[in-house]
Amino acid sequence: MSADRPSRTAHHGNRHGRSEQARRAVLEAADDLLAERGFAGVTIEGIAARAGVAKQTIYRWWSSKVDVLIEAFVDDMAQHLTPPDEGDLESELRTHLRRSARFLTRSDPGAVFRALAGQAQHDPEMAERFRTECLGPQRALDRRPLERAIERGELPPDTDVDFALDQLVGPLYYRVLVTGHPVPEEFTDALVERFLAPFRTRRAAEPRA
Amino acid sequence: MSADRPSRTAHHGNRHGRSEQARRAVLEAADDLLAERGFAGVTIEGIAARAGVAKQTIYRWWSSKVDVLIEAFVDDMAQHLTPPDEGDLESELRTHLRRSARFLTRSDPGAVFRALAGQAQHDPEMAERFRTECLGPQRALDRRPLERAIERGELPPDTDVDFALDQLVGPLYYRVLVTGHPVPEEFTDALVERFLAPFRTRRAAEPRA
Amino acid sequence: MSADRPSRTAHHGNRHGRSEQARRAVLEAADDLLAERGFAGVTIEGIAARAGVAKQTIYRWWSSKVDVLIEAFVDDMAQHLTPPDEGDLESELRTHLRRSARFLTRSDPGAVFRALAGQAQHDPEMAERFRTECLGPQRALDRRPLERAIERGELPPDTDVDFALDQLVGPLYYRVLVTGHPVPEEFTDALVERFLAPFRTRRAAEPRA
Amino acid sequence: MSADRPSRTAHHGNRHGRSEQARRAVLEAADDLLAERGFAGVTIEGIAARAGVAKQTIYRWWSSKVDVLIEAFVDDMAQHLTPPDEGDLESELRTHLRRSARFLTRSDPGAVFRALAGQAQHDPEMAERFRTECLGPQRALDRRPLERAIERGELPPDTDVDFALDQLVGPLYYRVLVTGHPVPEEFTDALVERFLAPFRTRRAAEPRA
DNA sequence: GCCTAATCGAGACGGTACGTCCCGTCTTCGG
DNA sequence: CCGAAGACGGGACGTACCGTCTCGATTAGGC
């Protein structure tokens, strides 16, 4: 993340740009507070106090605590959810779904994600941002294995990738966000198996035809 | 919900229990506020003011605004989501999933559900209650068509009903709560189709064997 | 006090009059609360809880917590502040002022008196009751030694008793209620001395004339 | 009181201290409410609303409504109760006692004083503050005529000034706070006369010796 | 090497809602 | 009819944060 931003030295205010130090302190403080005290325990005042930053500095660069958390999440997301490229659909899907489940249920950024997804239910404008900045990139990564499989001919070229994704990750998110059931590897593996079955059946059947 | 409570005449409180009038006013006010102003616009003070009720009366019977919304939701849920009993699995599932989608995306109680599901991400204790009181009964209803199909022999007796449900409704909730995509009938029908396909294939294949 | 009321047997409500048991429990509870927690710690709810009495029972017989305290005070006052009748003004005044000082500064009913006097500053109607029911009788007792002295010829018949009282007890109340200074016997004795001096001087001078 | 504070320009708060505008608005609102609705009508919420100030701003600088009233009173006191310096004890005392009586019974700050004196009966900590901040300065002013008289030789050098004050103002406060009797000039003049009599008698007698 | 302007920390400000306490009224039912 | 019990509509409490504002100190580029 800091890679795509010009490096900024620590300073106490000047006319030429914001303090990177303050920015990082704010994002970390927000992450920490979320982990320690939950979403309700994240407040602008709390972030400011923990980050050693003035409230005004937060309001200058972010519009709300949700905005801070989105930025904090985006910083972490890409690192965790890039699916592997192994040349085999089943294997890639198994790995990716296992990782996704682990990310969502166990990791700190996963907790941030759940909190943001929760807040999105309360605030349509925020939901829009959440979908654009958090879900969009993630879903783009999710598509990759399927697109590569289509290119390789493992899946038919007319495959509805979006529908496929909904079938593959939908039950996963459902467990994480709705039922709260655990998401063991058996579960994600079974989703992959169920998803791939028709294609295997077809292929097995076709030679006979 | 009102069915399991003895009818109570209007009164201003006495030793024999609470005022049903106040209870209903509170639930309605909460529902209305959620519909009009969103979750953040639902406050205990706002509910009290709109319901013409003292704050203390709310705190006496509910522990938080979420508690009020849960009760309001439970009152509405059963009426909307009882799946039909038509003797045909495919038909029942299509109808039930269509209704569920409509309920979640279009109705006022659906909005309450989404808000509660959102809040559940922020508050583990509340999530527990949400799952017990809202999801449990709903999921019990969801199971019915599948269980009847097993009894009728439409599905094999060893069918994993929970896994089946996750596949059927998971993608639906995923769209509603996460991606925010619309949930047209084509989508739910396709989920049913995808779910039933293996069983049809098997049955179609068996006679040949 | 209970002497001027018909004896009432303990009961839990009947059509034959109020419960003396409840009345006494309320008065005692109010006294105790005042002693333990101060005036602000005396609440109708607190009295009711401690006395094992319903709030309504208090409101049925008293108009406010102040009303309860007034009744509690009146019960106690007369016992403590009846001045002695010794046939000697100086002696009677010394004793009475010493007792009054002790009563006001040390005793539990004195604490009630101070609280009531305080509340009288905030509430003109209550002040009226306070003066009629608490101060009136007390001041009538205070007058007695002076009136007897006039009858005996120790004081001139045109003595302004009210003014005399203001001089005698005014500084005492001033210390108790305003400055909070202690009121030792030297102080009250000096007040008596200062009050009687002119009469002694005159008598001493007259024979010479 | 405003004399010992640097003048502050109007502002909405900054690191350099509080808003003088808010402070004055609060004190005036408290005074007004006391005059209009009595002590019970003075509430923090009421003061805040009338002063156009946030409750938190009051709690930031004062600990209670009583604290506000004390500050409001102190602001007013010195202006009203500085005794005259005329070089004649009797005259100064007459004037000062008349003014004091008028202040206590008729003026708005006098009403504040009575309310504070009342509250002091309910709250020992507050009583301490009341005595230090309100009574102390006032009593220091009260002493002045007597001290000057001692310097001038009008009173003997061993005069007990405190006892003298108790005799002079005690009955006055007694009437104001306890009996509620009016305090006409005849009354205060008589107190002065009674107080000075022994000294005149003595001086008149001495030349003969 | 100043000047100047954006940014920093700090924190007071007017507000909203919180959850609690107590008010005084009411409604019941048992004795 | 009185009593205990306790729910009710209300008002104020004192607290936590909100988002805005003003301030003096800090700091780097332009003059």
SS3 assignment for chain C: CHHHCCCCCCCCCCCCCCCHHHHHHHHHHHHHHHHHHCHHHCCHHHHHHHHCCCHHHHHHHCCCHHHHHHHHHHHHHHHHHCCCCCCCHHHHHHHHHHHHHHHHHHCHHHHHHHHHHHHHCCCHHHHHHHHHHHHHHHHHHHHHHHHHHHHHCCCCCCCCHHHHHHHHHHHHHHHHHHHCCCCCHHHHHHHHHHHHHHHHHHHHHHHHC
Query: Across the strands, what pairs with B17?
Result: B14
DSSP string, B88-156: -HHHHHHHHHHHHHHHHHHSHHHHHHHHHHHHHTT-HHHHHHIIIIIIHHHHHHHHHHHHHHHHHTSS-
User: C89: Cβ–Cβ under 8 A, 6 or more apart, which residues?
Assistant: C145, C146, C148, C149, C152, C154, C155, C196
pLDDT of residue B207: 56
Number of neighbouring beta carbons within 10 Å of residue C49: 13
D165 and D142 Cβ atoms separated by less than 8 Å:
yes
Å separating the CA of residue A97 from the C1' of nucleotide F23: 54
Examine the pLDDT at C141 and tell me if it is beyond 50: yes
The C-alpha of C161 sits at a distance from chain D's nearest C-alpha, in angstroms, of 13
Å separating the CA of residue A9 from the C1' of nucleotide F29: 15
CB contact under 8 A, A178 and B173: yes
Question: pLDDT averaged over chain B?
Answer: 89
pLDDT of residue A12: 60
The protein footprint on chain F, as nucleotides within 7 A of a CB, is: 1-29
Q: Could you say which residues 9-28 of protein chain B have a Cβ atom less than 7 A away from any atom in strand F?
A: 12-15, 17-19, 22-23, 25
Query: Given pLDDT bands bounded at 50, 70 and 90, which one contains residue B7?
Result: very low
Closest CB to A171 among B39, B121, B167: B167
Closest CB to D135 among C40, C124, C178: C178
How far apart CA C117 and CA C35 sit, in angstroms, is: 16
- Please list, residue by residue across D165-192, b when 16 or more beta carbons sit within 10 angstroms of its beta carbon and e when fewer do: bbbbbbbbbbbbbbbbeebeeebbebbb
Å separating the CA of residue D143 from the C1' of nucleotide F22: 46
Examine the pLDDT at A16 and tell me if it is beyond 70: no
Å separating the CA of residue B56 from the C1' of nucleotide F13: 14
CB contact under 8 A, D171 and C172: no
Closest CB to D198 among C115, C118, C197: C197
pLDDT in tens, D49-106: 999 999 999 999 999 999 999 999 998 887 777 888 988 999 999 999 999 999 999 9
The C-alpha of C103 sits at a distance from chain D's nearest C-alpha, in angstroms, of 15
How far apart CA B125 and CA B112 sit, in angstroms, is: 18
Q: What is the mean pLDDT of residues A21-42?
A: 95
Examine the pLDDT at C15 and tell me if it is beyond 70: no
Which of A64, A121, A169, A185 is the best residue to mutate to test the B interface, defined by the most B CB atoms within 10 Å of its own CB? Answer: A121
pLDDT in tens, C24-82: 999 999 999 999 999 999 999 999 999 999 999 999 999 999 999 999 999 888 777 78
How far apart CA A203 and CA C82 sit, in angstroms, is: 114
CB contact under 8 A, B38 and A123: yes
Q: Could you say which residues 11-70 of protein chain D have a Cβ atom less than 7 A away from any atom in strand E?
A: 12-15, 17-19, 22-23, 25, 52-57, 60-61
Question: Largest Cα–Cα distance in chain B?
Answer: 74
Name the residue among D48, D54, D13 with its Cα closest to residue D29: D48
The C-alpha of B131 sits at a distance from chain A's nearest C-alpha, in angstroms, of 6
pLDDT of residue A200: 81
pLDDT of residue A4: 38
D5 touches strand E (CB under 7 A): no
Å separating the CA of residue C19 from the C1' of nucleotide F1: 12
Whole-Å CA distances, C147 to B97, B112, C96, C165 = 99, 82, 14, 11
* Helix H or strand E encompassing A189: helix A185-205
C13 touches strand F (CB under 7 A): yes
pLDDT of residue A84: 84
The C-alpha of D128 sits at a distance from chain C's nearest C-alpha, in angstroms, of 9
Query: Given pLDDT bands bounded at 50, 70 and 90, which one contains residue B205?
Result: low
Examine the pLDDT at C5 and tell me if it is beyond 80: no
Q: What is the mean pLDDT of residues C154-159?
A: 95
Predicted TM-score (pTM) of the model is 0.86
Q: Could you say which residues 82-111 of protein chain A have a Cβ atom less than 7 A away from any atom in strand F?
A: none
Q: Is B52 exposed, middle or buried (0-12, 13-18, 19+ CB in 10 A)?
A: exposed
Distance of CA D194 to the CA centre of its chain: 24
Query: Across the strands, what pairs with B14?
Result: B17
Examine the pLDDT at D129 and tell me if it is beyond 70: yes
How far apart CA B8 and CA B29 sit, in angstroms, is: 20
Which of D69, D104, D116, D121 is the best residue to mutate to test the C interface, defined by the most C CB atoms within 10 Å of its own CB? Answer: D121
The count of CB pairs under 8 A between chains A and B is 111
pLDDT of residue A6: 39
Q: What is the DSSP letter of D82?
A: P
Whole-Å CA distances, D88 to B13, D145, D146, D151, D153 = 71, 8, 10, 12, 11
Question: pLDDT averaged over chain C?
Answer: 88
Q: Could you say which residues 49-108 of protein chain C have a Cβ atom less than 7 A away from any atom in strand F?
A: 51-57, 60-61
Query: Given pLDDT bands bounded at 50, 70 and 90, which one contains residue A75?
Result: confident
> Which A residues 145-174 touch B at CB under 8 Å?
163, 166-167, 169-174
Closest CB to D122 among C118, C178, C180: C118
pLDDT in tens, D142-197: 999 999 999 999 999 999 999 999 999 999 999 999 999 999 999 999 999 999 99
Contacts of A114 in chain B (CB under 8 A): 121
Q: What is the mean pLDDT of residues A94-123?
A: 95
The C-alpha of D204 sits at a distance from chain C's nearest C-alpha, in angstroms, of 13
User: D111: Cβ–Cβ under 8 A, 6 or more apart, which residues?
Assistant: D34, D35
pLDDT in tens, D10-64: 445 555 678 999 999 999 999 999 999 999 999 999 999 999 999 999 999 999 9
Number of neighbouring beta carbons within 10 Å of residue C128: 12
**Angle A114-A116-A122 (CA atoms, 0-180°, nearest 5)?**
115
CB contact under 8 A, C180 and D127: yes
D15 touches strand F (CB under 7 A): yes
Percent of chain A with pLDDT over 90: 78
Query: Given pLDDT bands bounded at 50, 70 and 90, which one contains residue A7?
Result: very low
Find, in chain D, the residue whose alpha carbon is nearest to that of C192. Answer: D167
C45 touches strand E (CB under 7 A): yes
CB contact under 8 A, A139 and B179: yes
How far apart CA C10 and CA C21 sit, in angstroms, is: 6
pLDDT of residue C16: 62
End-to-end CA distance of chain C: 54
Whole-Å CA distances, D51 to D1, D29, D33, D55 = 19, 6, 11, 10
Whole-Å CA distances, A117 to A171, B111, C54, C59, C162 = 16, 15, 51, 54, 81
How far apart CA C166 and CA C144 sit, in angstroms, is: 14
